[in-house]
Chains A and B, each alone.
Chain A
Amino acid sequence: MAHRTCDKKPEIHENIEDSLCRPADLVNQLERLALVDFRTKQGLACLEEAIRFADQLHAVDTSGVEPMDSVLEDRSLNLREDAVTEGDCAEELLQLSIHTVEEYFVAPPGLLCVAKNRL
């Protein structure tokens, strides 16, 4: 996807309008969360394609069928004893991040407007 922002108003296909309510808001929100500008013809076409692909799920009649929510099926849940076995690897973990300050991870600036809303 291109990372340029486009000054023109987005060309939203009718198909997207059908499947989403308030598509402009949703595109805004998705852009802000994903930190990627995809408000281009290409980007929106990609989004529309993704929605159409997912909509295929509706083609299958699942009435009366119990959903399977885990490949573990009937396996019982493993319980763990309450004893310390891990942690103490700050250095290793921090190496995975491009930006760190002392021993803190640094959050990308795009999420700061969200940060101000939370206490």
Chain B
Amino acid sequence: MAASSVAASELLQNMNKHISILYPKASYVIRRISTSRQRSDSQPQLRVKSAPQQLVGVVGLEVHAQINSNTKLFSGSSVRFSAPPNSLVSPFDASLPGTLPVLNTRCVEAAVMTALALNCTINRTSLFDRKHYFYADLPAGYQITQQRRPIAVDGFLDYSFLGGKKRNQVIKRTVSIKQIQLEQDSGKSLHDDLRSQTLIDLNRAGVGLMELVMEPDMSCGEEAAAAVGELQRILQTLGTCQGNMSEGQLRVDANVSVHEPGEPLGIRTEVKNINSIRYLAKAIDYEIQRQIAVLQRGGTVQSQTRAFDSKSGETVPMRDKEGLQDYRFMPEPNLPPLIVYEDNASLPTGIDACQVVVVQAIREALPELPAVKRERLVQTYGLLPEHSLTLVNEDGLVEYFEEVLRATKKEPRKVIGWVTKELVGHLKQQDMSVSQSPIAPSALAELLELQETGHISSSAARRVFQEMWRSPGKTALQIIREQDLGLVSDTAQLHNICQEVLDSHPDEVNAIRGGNKKVLNKLMGLVQRETKGRADPVLVRKIIQEKTS
């Protein structure tokens, strides 16, 4: 403080002296050296909020789902994930003059089906518009979309996830869907930084997309991930989108802001470049924390677009696009309004059946949605909601479970734990899917039968399961024989062992006789240790109770 200023001014004096000696003709003098301390004193203090704020996150999502169809939205070119560059491109897709868009019936049906599954109102009439912007992978210079009146509005998506302390409570939420619109996908650009050029592949240009706008009803990464997961399942069940995020079939952008509950919404940022559900949760949670930190420092959140960097787990700003984009929306003059009909009765006379989309027919053809499936499993098998949630959420698990049930007489409620805890637990540890399980449903069923019929205890069964997992060829019976895990049901032997234990623990025997029944468990534990866990617990308890009565 004072000391450093004094030192600084001394230094100044010395320097000036030297300068005038060395350069007598020089007319300049060093007037001030700013030390770091001086600098900070002269700057205004940053506002620091006094009370800690209860800031919460607000998350809205924009989802682009690639329609699962044979051809593109407005042209007859094929839709495929990988193909030689520019081989799936028609003159219309390349925006050559003299070409016109012709709408694909399948894409309309897919949009209507998705809208119905998401409880939307279908707009009987919807319109197409052009959204203009310049980019190399958009050959026409505009994208055909539905800005004025989309095909569906005002829906909602129910989703749930496991929460609570033990993560076994089903927590239900709903997110509103503002609208669903049909639009074209753009081509792909590959940046060749070495040669300073961009290579364009138009195979994806013109593929049909459904844009789903979700209202900012979510508050954190977990909720957003659960919502997108459920959406993915619904789309895959409907067959309208294959929902593979890593292949770009399902793209999610998150709009994130923070605020104090009850206060107006804060400035939001848009987070892009998220290509898995796990990263979606991470990106959103990081962004919420980042914004809270900014506000707590007294700063303000800048409205900007940020990209998620999966390596660092952070969001980083994308360079500002050239000011505010003016998309110059205009009606697409080559496409009259799209009309969908409620039912066959409302069709105009003489109209060609191939030229119409009838909502009622699509509604009747809707498959069983995941939520309905979960409820059905609860009813059919007497399961708990958290069990059916896990069953439906894991690909192929329902089929696995039902196959096990077919091969065993055991009750579903007794089988479910093995499937949702043991099997899923092991699969998750090694990041495997159900189809990769080393234990087939029939093998698990065999193990459960052996347990049910008293050949092995529950704890032994778990050990056998682990051994079966490690050595996929071996059957349960083999392992039981090899490791001698079979239940000891030889009553004479059990009597002897129990007697030994009771003889060596007279205090405990007295305690039981005195009314303390809990000590019985300790004695049972000792017997189990003697028998290496192979004693039938029911039998042991009976024997001990007899002997101590």
Contacts and interface: CB of A to CB of B under 8 A. Distances in A.
A119 B318 contact: yes
Given A69-B331, A71-B333, A84-B70, A76 B197 contact: no
Interface in A76-99: 76-90, 93-94, 96
A104 B85 contact: yes
Given A70-B331, A75-B336, A115 B76 contact: no
A29 interface: yes
B228 interface: no
Interface string B244-286: 0000000000000000000000000000110000000000000
Given A70-B335, A104-B85, A104-B190, A78 B102 contact: yes
Given A86-B76, A90-B87, A105-B86, A76 B189 contact: no
Nearest to B127: A69
A12 B199 CA distance: 37
B140 to A, nearest CB: 14
Choose among A33, A84, A106, A109 the residue with the greatest number of B CB atoms under 10 Å from its CB.
Answer: A84
Contacts of A75: 336
23 contacts: A29-B323, A33-B134, A67-B331, A70-B331, A70-B333, A70-B335, A75-B336, A78-B102, A81-B105, A82-B105, A83-B76, A85-B76, A86-B76, A86-B90, A87-B89, A88-B88, A90-B89, A101-B197, A103-B87, A111-B134, A112-B191, A118-B135, A119-B272
Given A70-B335, A86-B75, A93 B198 contact: no
Choose among B86, B105, B134, B192 the residue with the greatest number of A CB atoms under 10 Å from its CB.
Answer: B86
A41 interface: no
B339 A106 contact: no
Contacts of A115: 135-136, 189, 191, 198
B334 interface: yes
A107 interface: yes
Contact of B84 (A85, A93, A103, A117): A103
B357 interface: yes
A90 B88 CA distance: 8
Contacts of B78: 84, 87
Contacts of B354: 79, 81
A84 B200 CA distance: 23
Nearest to B129: A69
Given A86-B91, A90-B89, 4 more contacts: A71-B333, A76-B336, A80-B105, A93-B86
Interface of A: 25, 29, 32-33, 67, 69-90, 93-94, 96, 101-109, 111-112, 114-119
Given A107-B197, A114-B135, A80 B84 contact: no
The list of the 10 closest CB pairs from A to B, nearest first, reads A69-B331, A107-B136, A85-B76, A82-B106, A104-B199, A87-B77, A107-B198, A86-B90, A105-B200, A103-B85
A101 B189 CA distance: 13
Contacts of B70: 82-84
Nearest to B273: A119
Contacts of B338: 77
B166 interface: no
Given A70-B333, A70-B335, A109-B196, A79 B134 contact: no
A117 B339 contact: no
Nearest to B188: A104
B240 interface: no
Interface string B313-340: 0000011111100000011111111110
A80 B103 contact: yes
B71 A32 contact: no
Nearest to B90: A86
Given A81-B354, A107-B189, A111-B135, A69 B333 contact: yes
